[in-house]
Amino acid sequence: MYDPTVARLTYRALLGRRRAAILFLLPGLLLIIAAAVRAINGADDQVAADLLGGFALATMVPLIGVIAGTGAIGPEIDDGSIVYLLSKPVKRPTIIITKLIVAIAVTMAFSAVPTLIAGFILNGNGQQVAVAYTVAALVASIAYSALFLLLGTISRHAVVIGLVYALVWEALFGSLIAGARTLSVQQWALALAEKVTGEGLISSDVALPTATVLLVVVTLGATWFAGHKLRTLKLAGEE
């Protein structure tokens, strides 16, 4: 279910000059802010939790997920180059799973690793804040990658839809409407982070068992449906 050639082509597409610059921008900004906050405010557990929750998990992780998830397949479908890949003797679910693995790896590398480093800069991992948010970023990376890969498979406007979900649904509606938080990858990931860190520093509106089930269902469901859509995509001349 993993094809090295498809993986290599996907990595090349995601880590091209323009996308790589965007991918490095947010982690770099997080580390700069973390260093400045530590220099000005000193080590503070609550400040560390607020910054990692408000910027790293709420903004950086979903945006990188949008770039990696949609970029793993969307441009190929848009410009028609997917036809070349689909004409090869590679099973279409294998293509999806390979691209998902690449998208997850890129999202984790550019979000979870900087989150861990920023956490140590901010408070030296006091009360396991850095580890907690790193776990949340890792888990969220998987769900976001699957969700946005699906969007890249079914829509030419995947980036716009992904940004609307990440910035409008999760950030705006999630802060105003309690019920919206139940359908938030961010809240599901926070449920795991809450279990790792000290009491009161991190909280989620979704219980851990519910969050775990929803993460698994969304990840597997999005992956299956993306494979199904690619499997039913017709090449020119196919009947």
pTM of the model: 0.92
Coil, helix or strand at residue 54: helix
The answer, yes or no, to whether residue 224 has pLDDT greater than 80, is yes
Nearest to 91 by CA among 6, 11, 184: 6
Q: What is the pLDDT of residue 104?
A: 97
How much is the pLDDT for 66? 94
Beta-carbon-side half-sphere exposure of residue 147 (alpha carbons within 13 Å): 27
How large a percentage of the chain has pLDDT more than 90?
57
Instruction: Tell me what pLDDT residue 169 has.
Output: 81
Sign, CA dihedral 153-103-161-156, equals negative
Q: What is the pLDDT of residue 211?
A: 94
Read off the pLDDT band of 174 (50, 70, 90). Answer: low
- Averaged pLDDT for residues 138-151: 96
| Residue 167 confidence (pLDDT) | 82
Estimate the share of the chain in helix, then strand, then coil, as percent rounded to the nearest 5: 80, 0, 20
Q: What is the pLDDT of residue 239?
A: 40
Higher pLDDT, 116 or 176: 116
pLDDT above 70: percentage of residues in the chain? 94
Mean pLDDT estimate for the chain: 89
Specify the pLDDT at position 223. Answer: 95
